[in-house]
Structure 1
Amino acid sequence: MDKKTLSEADICEKFITPAIQLAGWNTIEQIYREYTLRPGRVVVRGNHAARDKKSVLRADYVLFYKTNIPLVVVEAKDNTHAVGAGMAQAINYAELLNIPFSISSNGDGFVFRDATMADGVLETHLTLDQFPTPSDLWERYCAWKGWPAEVRQVAEYPYAPSKTPRYYQMNAINGTVQAIAKGQQRILLVMATGTGKTYTAFQIIYRLWKSTWKADKPSGQKRILFLADRNILIDQTMVNDFRPFKGAMAKLSPNAKGVERVDASTGKHFVEQLDVAVNKSTKLVDKSYEIYLSLYQAVTGTEEEQNIYKQFSPDFFDLIVVDECHRGSADEDSAWREILTYFSSATQIGLTATPKETKDISNTEYFGEPVYTYSLKQGIEDGYLAPYKVVRIDLDKDTFGWRPPEGMTDKLGNVIEDRVYNATDMNRKLVLEKRDELVAAKITEYLKATNRYDKTIVFCEDIDHASRMRQALSNANADICKDHPKYVVQITGDNPEGKKELDNFIDPEKTYPVIATTSKLMSTGVDAQTCKLIVLDQNIKSMTLFKQIIGRGTRLREDLGKTWFTILDFKRATDIFADKDFDGDPVQIYEPTGDDPVLPPEPEDDNLQDAGPHAGEAPAGGALDSPFGGAGHGDADAPKITKYVVGGAVTVAVARERVQYLNTQGKLITDSLRDYTRINLTAQYNSLDQFLQAWNEADRKAALLQELEGHGVLIDALALEVGKDLDPFDMLLYVAWNMPPLTRRERANRVKKRNVFTSYGPVARQVIDALIDKYADQGIRTIESDDILTVPPLNTLGSPVELVRSFGGRPQFLSAIKLLENELYAHRSA
């Protein structure tokens, strides 16, 4: 057998896999072939999106110890390569998995890289029968980690039998379990919204619950508490990710209700009852469960009898997991922190997408530095989160300001203070009704141009603003709303009817509501999987709040057609994207010590604060959002800020509108797409002649276009900005080299007039004529597609086999396609 003639797949099957199995690796449980690390970044092209195939990372082999800890990456090459040719790839993949072992092979043997240097050597050549055994690598790994036997027993406990965690989830799960096994009491996990924090928490809890951790407890049982601050978060968690705990799990709430679910087999809706640990009448807690889930609000209160958590002894819980820990539990003086302090002997894990670090509130001061961080940027680059484009709309009164005429009164007869009102004042101190109408019109215009039933969240300044926007959007969409009043709903903390619609809004199977207007209630923790439009009409200066709001759109659901989303920004809030700290590591600003003086917090504008402890729930003192005082905190003595309401006498117009996309480095393109394209194209091709040569020599124009898109030339998006229905070839020449363009129809007609295909038979000429018409209608990518002969009208001329045969065979057919393309793009100067 000549190995040089074998494919990479053959090398794997005949040489590498047998060598791995011979070393004792179990095929089903330990050997993962074609293991996907990154599915590939989703690239937005105009109003469409596609995976960037070049960004896919897939390891030939990842070998696991007991199914849960990856140990070694094996990268294969065919035998025309050197045995170590795949080492660079293997090292890259191993670094993503946080493992020290990498192997490369071409079927002749192996190059083994051991970053632990257990033998004092970094890289070693091995024969096919010397592949490392699982026990050998596990011993090296544990020694490298410095684990004693008791830590190893906990760390190696397998995952719950469910879906396989993604690489970053494995890193988070393993890192947390290992840290706890070594005795760490406070853990912080930072994972971007939409990356599976709750599933990660489930696997951590499961492995600790089932393993030998705390096995010496007198009761023999481990007690675990999962804390969140939204009812919907608890209920979703119990019926979804935490479902395997059913029977050992209960909710700490005397008023718990069932969760509406859909039967996968029948499609019928039903209500699933949750196990509840609190007696409704006596408020006494059943302590026989092992896993408890609770709202902070359900176990605390201003009265002592409301503090249900105190029915447990301080040492009752072994593990507490705090979801969205950037909110109440980050504040040292909050009632929520009292729960964590009360159960201080328990190991505590904080989960957040946005660690809160201010002068007075710190996650890292309490939980410590993150054990693992997976950012929004990394999630988008890997292809696990949806990318976005930004449509920035600057309104004239926001941009240039507005000053009332002397003595002007508002609709309520108040004399409007004489000064210049700008974007910061809009909807906080000044309401322009025409502005509401224009914002609603632009939102509706966007939805009409895309899909009027795309889930949309409109973030408003306060409850009053959210109420007005509901009305303005209902009027702008009256053709739908007259028959479907729940097309637009207001979902805010003071609106019980609207809050009831939250479950329907986030349910992918429910059509209505489509548009939700809100202030703070939906800024975090709401799993709106199919949300495709985020509208920002709120002053946002907080990085934490901004990230949480953007996170409502980042969930990727390709199965439901959600591959990207749009941010429609009326307040220049997306300037935060340019902040050097956006998506950066959390930086602790202030860490108090015993010697530090106690300083009062500096006052800040309520409207620029993050969602408060109950984030949308009305606290005891009053409504969270006040229609007169911005975001308010329910302080009865707080001064009321007058809001002037101005009717239609003052008009509002769009000052500037711009669409911005993410480039290949994940940064927003701030130039116009024309300038950005010209810069990218001329950087790749030194001259027009060089570009023309590359175009003419390309076997498939679609492949060259895909390559250009990989370099940041956004063809479809550019077409939308240029506003001309051009062949990509003409559009690029027009934008980059200012060449006058031809339409596709003009090119097609020129080819027909030349009669260059007279040597072909009648059926073949019919095929060519149909292809020319297809090009004129749909473009070059269409005629190069593999299934072109199966679509109308070509499928009416004969079967694909018959049509190819009319040219003399497949080589001759491909030659005719090449000739057609040459003719379409010939005589550029004619």
Structure 2
Amino acid sequence: MNKKDLSERDICTKFINPAIIKAGWDMKKQVREEKSFTDGRIIVQGRMHTRGRRKRADYILYFKPDIPIAIIEAKDNKHSIGAGMQQALEYAEILQIPFVFCSNGDGFIFHDKTISEGQIEREIALDEFPSPEELWKRYLKKEEIQEAQAVKIVEQDYHVDTNGMSPRYYQANAINRSVEAIAKGQNRILLVMATGTGKTYTAFNIVWRLWKAGVKKRILFLADRNALLTQTKNGDFAPFGNDIMHIIKNRKIDKSYQIYYALYQGLTSNEETKNAYKEFSRDFFDLVIIDECHRGSASEASAWREVLDYFSSATQIGMTATPKETRDISNISYFGEPVYTYSLKQGIEDGFLAPYKVIKINTSIDEEWRPTKGLCDKYGNEIEDRIYNLRDYDRKLVIDERTNLVARKITEYLKATDRFAKTIVFCVDIDHANRMRQALINENADLVAKHPLYAVKITGDDEVGKRELDNFTDVEEQFPVIATTSKMLTTGIDTKMVKLIVLEANIGSMTEFKQIIGRGTRIREAEGKLYFSIMDFRRATNLFADPDFDGEPVVIYEPEPNEPVTPPDEDDDVIETPPREGDDVFTPPDINVDDEEEDRPKKYYVNKVKVTVANERVHYYGADGKLITESLKDYTRQNIKKEFASLDDFLSKWSTADKKEELVKELAEHGILLEALREEVGKDMDDFDLICHIAFDKPSLTRHDRANKVRKRNYFAKYDEIAKQVLDTLLEKYENEGIASIENPSVLKLQAFTQIGSPVKLVKAFGKKNDYEEAVKELQEQIYSIA
């Protein structure tokens, strides 16, 4: 047997597997081969999308289920023994795996990440592969975890889901790092995980392992929305069983349960005697989970902090998508550095979160509008003579025509894509949300006549709207389709099917902006939701360019002991803590009076102002995780030239590609968005011609042009009649749909071909299957002939 003749899979079977088994690894329980750990990035192109390649490790080795400890990258024997190390290290970094191996069947290169000095990487023989126990002991030593604590806590099994659900790699990372921190005696823990990545499911697995280990027997789960408590208890935490779980709803507290759920505001009161949390002794709880801990728990002045200080002896785990780091409030100062961070950018890159495209729309009055001298609003109030702009609209000045324009653009987008796509319109306040709802109803009168709940206002003051919240978030409920809101839907509500987010509010807070964007990031592949769009009328998406949008949290300011916390300016647009349900208050215009401003109305209501769209532009999510802000043509040209040094280089790659569709997918992963470009260029060009035209300044031929050139050459003449019909039909299909359609092996089963004959008969017209495949290949050569 010559090793050089063996495939990579043969090397695994004949050399790597025996080495692992000999070292004491259980191939069924501890080893997963060809393990994919991402879903592949979703790449949005115009109205179409595709998925990139999944990241896949040849081997992941586990000490216990969902506790990965080693990774092996295999290569065939034509490669050197260390050829796979770079890729293995990249994967190990993502998976937080300490021991890295690569092999070509001759031995292993062993990279030990637990070593900080000395020989980190060395070659070992096949029979020197380390055992699970050896690697585990090394890891515990490096992490300074006592063996007794490891056996009791860290090695505690995960919950076995009867539906076969298991944590994704980043959830396992978060769970394992949290449990290890507790095993080492850490009592304040922060997890930063992007919205839509399963923070509650992660929390359940942490609690399950600690509760099963017997180290945390009484647990308090804190949130700030009733819907979150019920959703958590009956959803991810359901395996605990209702017998040991209880939602605290009043001061009559039954202390016989083990897991409690409570609202912060339900436990605290302005009156000391009504603070329900004091019904418990200070040491009653062993573990406190704080969901959405950015909402106030970090502030020393908040009532929320009172609860955490009272139960200070308990281990406290804060979970957030947006760690609050402001001038006055620091989560990191309270909880410490995050034990694990999983960002929106990484979630999109892995294909677990939906990417987005941004449609920026500016109106003709965004920069300024000034009333004529003495102009009165609809209610007879003389409008203060000054320049108004985006900061003022709907906050101090309402212009009906602008509201109607926004509603019209939203409706035009939905009509062009999907009129039943779940949509949230974020408004300045309740008054604005109400007027926007009315404008949207008028723009969609045809649907509203049949479905009265097509567009609703969901705000804290509206009982009807709040009743529709569950229907809006329900994946199976079609109505309501559009929800206008101010703050109520910014956070904590699981809006799985939202495909359009409209920004019609001035957003100065990065925390609030992240939470709003998070409303669209969930993927529902079975229901066709893989990406979402953001329609921005307020330039709020400029915050995407801020390094803080997806950067590492940094402590901005840590107050000295007893230093007073200065509240933000009441007139500031920056809202650091989004209000809870019912916080929004709308005062009708006729009684809107500011005592300090000489009876001047809080808002002016104006109409008969000419408002038009000044400009509109679509921005796509790029391969680097940033919005493409330049021309799509320029962006595409730059990316193509990174991949292909010259036109000849591209032509060579195109002509030798077995499947053109696979090449196009590969290009998409590198940021070359041909479908989106086609929409912008507006021509019915083939992918081949788009690339040649945009990157190499070649004439812009359409598919129709190319098909006609093939017909004029009459190269079909050498085939018999049935084969000619097949090739002619394939050419027509290319002309209408593109090259990928004729590469599909099932194309002969389509009606256009079955009218000629059965697939078997059509293939036989060329001879054998190989002859048919050669004929299709020759057709492609004719299509792309330069002559």
- Normalising by structure 1, what TM-score? 0.90
The answer as to whether partners of 2:396 and 2:603 remain within 8 angstroms in 1 is: yes
Q: Provide the residue aligned with 1:32 in structure 2.
A: 32
Aligned residue among 124, 135, 138 for 1:137: 135
Map of 1:572 onto structure 2: 539
Say whether 1:675 aligns with 2:643.
no
One-letter amino acid of the structure 2 residue matched with residue 624 of structure 1: D
Partner residue of 2:218?
Answer: 223
Q: Contact 2:69 / 2:97 at 8 angstroms: preserved in 1?
A: yes
User: Does structure 1 conserve the Cα–Cα contact (< 8 Å) formed by 2:459 and 2:584?
Assistant: no
Post-superposition shift, 1:311? 1.1
Give the CA deviation at 1:125. Answer: 3.4
In structure 2, the residue matched to 1:126 is: 124
Aligned residues of 1:249 and 1:293 also touching (Cα < 8 A): no
Who is 2:345 aligned against? 377
| Cα displacement (A) at 1:117 | 4.1
CA-CA distance at 1:352 after TM superposition: 0.5
Deviation, 1:394, is: 0.6
Task: Give the corresponding residue for 1:461.
Answer: 428
Q: Deviations over 1:20-58 (max 9, x none)?
A: 2332222332112222222221111111211112xx211
CA contact (8 A) 2:296 2:305 kept: yes
Residues 1:812 and 2:771 are matched in the alignment = yes
The 3-state SS of whatever aligns with 2:637 is helix
| Mean CA deviation greater in 743-752 or 483-492 | 743-752
Q: How far off its partner does 1:104 sit? A: 1.5
Specify the alignment match of 1:724 in structure 2.
683
Q: Distance in 1 between matches of 2:712 and 2:537?
A: 51
- Between stretches 599-608 and 285-294, larger displacement belongs to 599-608
Amino acid at match of 2:130: P
Aligned to 2:381: 414
Q: Which residue of 2 aligns with 1:158?
A: 157
Q: Could you give the per-residue CA deviations for residues 128-176 of structure 1, whole angstroms, max 9, x where no partner exists?
A: 3332211111111111212213321211111111222122111111111
CA distance in 1, matches of 2:41, 2:352: 8
Matches within 5 A, 1:66-215: 66-117=64-115, 121-152=119-150, 153-162=152-161, 163-213=165-215
Supply the distance in 2 between the matched residues of 1:411 and 1:118 (Cα, whole angstroms): 73
Instruction: Tell me the equivalent position of 1:781.
Output: 740
Query: 2:702 matched to which residue of 1?
Result: 743
Deviates more, 1:729-738 or 1:554-563: 729-738
SS at match of 1:154: helix
**What is the distance in 2 between the residues matched to 1:303 and 1:420?**
46
- Structure 1 residues 602, 286: CA separation in 2 closer, same or farther (over 3 Å shift)? closer
What is the letter of the counterpart of residue 76 of structure 1? A
Map 1:97-496 → 2, pairs under 5 A: 97-117=95-115, 121-152=119-150, 153-162=152-161, 163-213=165-215, 222-254=217-249, 283-399=251-367, 401-496=368-463
Counterpart of 2:555 (choices 584, 588, 601) is: 588
Letter of the aligned partner of 1:184 in structure 2?
A: Q
Indicate the RMSD between aligned Cα atoms, in angstroms: 2.4
Seen in structure 2, the aligned counterparts of structure 1 residues 734 and 602 have a Cα distance that, compared at 3 Å, is: same
Q: What letter corresponds to residue 86 of structure 1 in structure 2? A: G
How many Å separate the matches in 1 of 2:179 and 2:601?
A: 50
The DSSP-based 3-state class of the residue aligned with 1:81 is: coil
| Distance (Å, rounded) in 1 between the aligned partners of 2:375 and 2:221 | 56
Q: CA deviation at 1:119?
A: 11
Show the counterpart of 1:9: 9
- How many Å separate the matches in 2 of 1:709 and 1:60? 25
Q: In the alignment, is the contact (CA less than 8 A) between 1:491 and 1:499 conserved in 2?
A: yes
Find the counterpart in structure 2 of residue 616 from structure 1: 580
Alpha-carbon distance change, 704 to 97 in structure 1, aligned in 2, over 3 angstroms: closer
Deviation at 1:406, TM superposition (A): 1.4
The structural deviation recorded for 1:686 is 4.9
Are positions 1:503 and 2:464 aligned together? no
Structure 2 CA distance for aligned equivalents of residues 455 and 719 of structure 1: 27
- In structure 2, the CA distance between the partners of 1:699 and 1:284, relative to structure 1 (3 Å rule), is closer
SS of the residue 2:294 aligns to? coil
1-structure distance, mates of 2:191, 2:26: 32
* CA–CA separation in structure 2 for the residues paired with 1:95 and 1:737: 39
Given that 2:472 and 2:480 are in contact with CA atoms closer than 8 Å, whether structure 1 keeps it comes out as: yes
Change (3 A) 1:548 1:755: same
- Distance in 2 of aligned mates of 1:597 and 1:232: 36
SS of residue in 2 equivalent to 1:675: helix
* 1:44 alignment partner AA: V
| TM-score, structure 2 normalization | 0.94
Distance 1:807 1:760 in 2: 8
2:651, 2:89 → 1: CA distance? 39
Structure 2, unpaired ranges of 5+: none
Relative to structure 1, the CA distance from residue 637 to residue 463 in structure 2 (aligned partners, 3 Å threshold; closer, same or farther) is: farther
1:272 counterpart residue number: none
Q: From 54, 60, 63, give the equivalent of 1:62.
A: 60
Structure 1 position 420, deviation (Å): 1.4
Q: Distance between the aligned counterparts of 2:56 and 2:408, measured in 1?
A: 45
Tell me how far 1:678 sits from its aligned partner: 2.6
- Are 1:598 and 2:579 matched, yes or no? no
1:701 is displaced (CA, Å) by 3.1
CA distance in 2, matches of 1:340, 1:641: 42
**Whole-angstrom distance in 2 between the partners of 1:826 and 1:118:** 58
Select which of 622, 633, 644 maps to 2:604: 644
Q: 1:371 to 1:571 in 2, by over 3 A?
A: same
Deviation, structure 1 residue 17: 2.4
**C-alpha separation in 2, matches of 1:752 and 1:416:** 70
Partner of 1:260: none
Q: Which runs of 5+ in 1 are unaligned?
A: 215-221, 255-277
Deviations 1:499-544 (A, max 9, x none): 1111111110111111111100000111111111111011011111
